A and B are shown apart, each in its own frame.
Chain A
Amino acid sequence: MPGLLKGFSAIVRRDLLLAWKRPGDVLNPLFFFAMVASLFPLATGPSPEQLMLNGPGVVWVAALLATLLSLNSLFLSDFEDGSLDQIILSPQPLPLLGLGKAAAHWLLSGLPLVLVSPLIAVTYRMPADIVGVMMLTLALGTVSLSLLGAIGAALTVGLNRSNALLSLLILPLAMPVLIFGARTVSLAAAGDPVAAGIYFLAAYCMLALTLAPFATAAALKISNE
């Protein structure tokens, strides 16, 4: 069915175009990511051993927070200008359109984070071969976070005070991704095998790809009725 792919790609293209017209929405979470990562050396001191020990955790926490920051507006503008109604009413399957929104979100927030993360890693004195593992875990992890976050954003769209609420809903659910992401990079830094962690992140990513769009679709319908 060619029509299915059309709806999906139309959503992705539209969101990318919107972001192109308003680049601040994409750049602000990136600046936030860099700033959170630079808070830690300033707060805990610049000793190289400590930086190397904390680096993986800091990059992952900063990435998680930056993703949360950008998730809040995932459905907001669509909700405000009424296009969310059109998306829900359209004959295309809603889970697929929700998947399109999550895909666009990942392209606009997850992927830039992955690309910027080596800069942070260098300031934390991470060796070059670890940086590759870090980028891989971030790539897999941010896909899961975008999918998981889309559920939360769909549940809280249109609510007042939804900013803190979204974090409260998503953070506990995102713990497995954080734990495996950060620990895998730490293991790589210690020279231990990392396959288990990467397999887990990939498995989690697949599970989220399969189930999350349906939860997002259900949540969108409930929030918008």
Chain B
Amino acid sequence: MWSFLHKLASPPHFYGLSAKMIPWLYAAGLVAIAYGTVAGLFYAPADEEMNDGFRIIYVHVPAAFISMSAYMVMAVGAGIGLIWRMKLAHAVAAGAAPLGAWFTFLALITGSIWGRPMWGTWWEWGDPRLTSELLMLFLYFGYLALRAAIDDTAKADKASAVLALVGAVNIPIIHFSVEWWTSLHQGSTLLKAGGPGMHPDMLYPLLAMILGFVLLFAALLLARVRTEVLHRERRTRWVRKLIMPAGEAA
């Protein structure tokens, strides 16, 4: 177990292993998303209140799920990198941040589109989930901006890791405060979208979509980390050998 982790942390080994994993992740993700899309759009029964409008849930909820998980991946990577000084973990955090920001953006856009027919407005400050998703996007922006502002990679890794950990402590508090804030607003009774009791024909496609998004995220993350690793290790021998196979590396 430990020797496996040790090996995984070595960049050349990771580079080789991830190359083998990415196609499988894409394939499995594609299958899950294809099933979820077809079953969700054509076979799931229409919602009583929202008719076919609810079907955007099959993009919205998985995107929101990834936007939270990506921050967790980022924070865990940052923590491991900071504590055990593992460079690969910092590369994972660096790769997860822009992906997380994009999935957050997707969740916001789909939430806004969903809100248009349901609430009659593109943006509803009274909805706690939409508002905390917006704050999530701002957290990603801060992280990315800090990373971009520091030229030295090792320093950028550590500084942004501290920020990611501070953010991870704050996220539950931010969610809680946004919920408290909106619970005092009156009249947002329309916002009980989804609800706990979901028909299995609606639920399984949703779970498949979430799984598909997770696999897609994993594949994209590995691809990003691979390029990140190549960039960071550009002066090492194994990268030179990879790029200039025989003889040229004189």
Contacts and interface: CB of A to CB of B under 8 A. Distances in A.
Contacts of A151: 162-163, 166
B159 A204 contact: no
A222 B138 contact: no
Interface residues of B, number: 28
B-side binding surface: helix, strand, loop or mixed?
Answer: helix
A175 interface: yes
Interface string B151-181: 0000100110011011101100110111011
B173 A204 contact: yes
A183 B165 CA distance: 27
B177 A155 contact: no
A169 B177 contact: no
Interface range on chain A (Cβ under 8 Å from partner): 20 to 34
B186 to A, nearest CB: 12
A173 B163 CA distance: 10
A212 to B, nearest CB: 8
A156 interface: yes
Interface string A86-100: 000000000000000
Contacts of A120: none
Given A222-B159, A223-B159, A173 B181 contact: no
Contacts of A176: 170, 173-174, 176-177
Nearest to A222: B158
Contacts of A165: 145-146, 149
Given A155-B162, A215-B162, 19 more contacts: A151-B163, A155-B163, A156-B146, A159-B149, A168-B141, A169-B142, A169-B145, A172-B142, A173-B174, A175-B174, A179-B181, A183-B184, A187-B184, A218-B82, A218-B162, A219-B162, A222-B162, A223-B155, A225-B155
Interface of B: 82, 135, 138-139, 141-142, 145-146, 149-150, 155, 158-159, 162-163, 165-167, 169-170, 173-174, 176-178, 180-181, 184
Interface of A: 151, 155-156, 159-162, 165, 168-169, 171-173, 175-176, 179-180, 183, 187, 196, 200, 204, 211, 215, 218-219, 222-223, 225
